[in-house]
Amino acid sequence: MWGGRFGGGPSAIMQQINASIGVDKRLWRQDIQGSRAHVAMLGKQGIISAEDVAAIDKGLQQIAQEYADGKLVENLALEDIHLHVETRLKEIIGPAAGRLHTARSRNDQVAVDFRLWVKAACDEADAALKALIGALLKRAEEHADTIMPGFTHLQVAQPVTLGHHLMAYVEMLSRDRSRFADAKARMDECPLGAAALAGTSFPIDRQMTAAALGFAKGPTRNSLDSVSDRDFALEYLSATHMTGLHLSRLAEEIIIWASQPYGFITLPDAWSTGSSIMPQKRNPDAAELVRAKAGEFLAAFTRLSVVMKGLPLAYSKDMQDDKSTVFAAFDDLGLCLASMTGMVETLTFNKAKMRAAANSGFSTATDLADWLVRVANVPFREAHEITGKCVKAAEAKGTDLNGLTDAELKAIDARITRAVRDVLSVEASVASRTSFGGTAPANVRAAIAAARARL
């Protein structure tokens, strides 16, 4: 395709390091789509004849059918998907195929192919996130009143509802959806027609190709930027990384909760693995792999950042290495989201274990302190001190706060009456947390309804 000024061919190793077909064959649909839009525009602008347009377009459609049937024959000598398509076109329609590349370069071609691909990847991430959010909403609804311990420092802090805990992930994942949507909106400009780097002398219509390819914001504004920008891929990886962090935290909780000392949840057989030596084992491998892959996403973002950081304008071949990184992250993200959805949909919550744990660790101590403030008008700091003494006394007695007698409580502070018992249960505690965004079951139900409306 470019051998005119060359005397000899590339060495075998040169071919191997240079070829990207093994990776970028995934862009074949976008490549053919881009070429069809380009050739239609060349025809409309009178740059090539109507007969050539018809022949090229027909040939491209035939290639699309062949590739869909799995008949793409990889050839390292043809470097990438762009040269594969063009060479096959020449086999099918003859020399007219050579007119397709008028007013175009592989630099703008790959930029447009990859943008189209990443835009679709943003949509896929959105759909998969939506499915996971749907699963979480369903479980949150079932467990709007289920009580579990809320933790800080992984120490029992205050009782919360399981529905509230699950809804925290709905919030995180909803922000992730908006990150993919923002990234997609920003990349919605078409680089086709930037040619190699400087634009072209042919009277092309970039508005036309941008519209034909579905770029909402029209053509990109600067030809140099068009062929050297990979921000769009980095933003995709950044949103993927953030999603990965959220999935990893949920995975971590699934792992902890499924462990025997916690016993909060049981994963079904479909989401468990056994051990080759310990017959009793049920391991949460999928959750562990989701946790591990969060590291892969950060690595992908880091890798492409490093590929890009020192590149002078405009195109350098380093940029060819963007795709393997993005494709791998895309595949892993799909697997992670599908796995989390499967686990969330099917795991069983052990309500009794959760409630018992919520009742441990003097989890309603804050409720006692708040009661002193509310009922006996004690300043909060003093109430905190008094409650601390109650906890100390209960601990010494080997009981919980409710296990202290009225007399024992009175001895610590005369203002404590038996009415305090109303706030010491975990049920009373969660029911009282009615501030906006709080854990009370009524709030959780309202939050679920609002989230469903936003979905």
Binding footprint of ligand ARG on the chain (CB under 6 A)? 20, 24, 80, 106-107, 110, 315, 317, 319-320
Buried b / exposed e across 342-364, counting CB within 10 Å, b at 16+?
A: bbbbebebbeeebbebbbebbbb
Angle formed at CA 93 by CA 92 and CA 99, multiple of 5 degrees = 125
CA dist 144 and 406 (Å) reads 33
CA atoms of 211 and 189, how far apart (whole Å): 10
Least Cβ distance, residue 113 to ligand ARG (angstroms): 8
Q: Which of 140, 105, 213 lies closest to 444, judged by CA?
A: 140
Please give the backbone phi and psi of residue 348, each rounded to the nearest 5 degrees, phi first. Answer: -105, 135
User: How would you class 15 by CB atoms within 10 Å of its CB: exposed for 0-12, middle for 13-18, buried for 19 or more?
Assistant: middle
> Is the Cα torsion angle 43, 47, 53, 57 positive or negative in sign?
negative
283 or 324: whose CB is closer to ligand ARG? 324
Residue 283 DSSP label = B
Question: Closest approach of Cβ 222 to ligand ARG, in Å?
Answer: 18
Min separation Cβ 162 and ligand ARG, Å: 48
CA Rg value for the chain = 31
Cβ neighbours for 171, distance < 8 A, ≥ 6 positions apart: none
Nearer to ligand ARG, 110 or 290 (CB): 110
Enclosing H/E stretch for 250: helix 231-258
- Nearest-approach distance from CB 300 to ligand ARG, in angstroms: 17
Write out the catalytic residue numbers.
153, 275
Please identify, using beta-carbon distances, which residue of 24 and 370 lies nearer to ligand ARG: 24
- What is the smallest separation between the CB atom of 327 and ligand ARG, expressed in angstroms? 12
Nearer to ligand ARG, 25 or 249 (CB): 25
| Whole-Å CA distances, 50 to 7, 45, 93, 96, 100 | 36, 10, 14, 11, 12
Cβ 7 to ligand ARG shortest distance, Å: 19
Q: Considering beta carbons, is residue 104 or 293 the nearer one to ligand ARG? A: 104
**Residue for token pair 């377009």:** 57
CB of 104 or CB of 164, closer to ligand ARG: 104
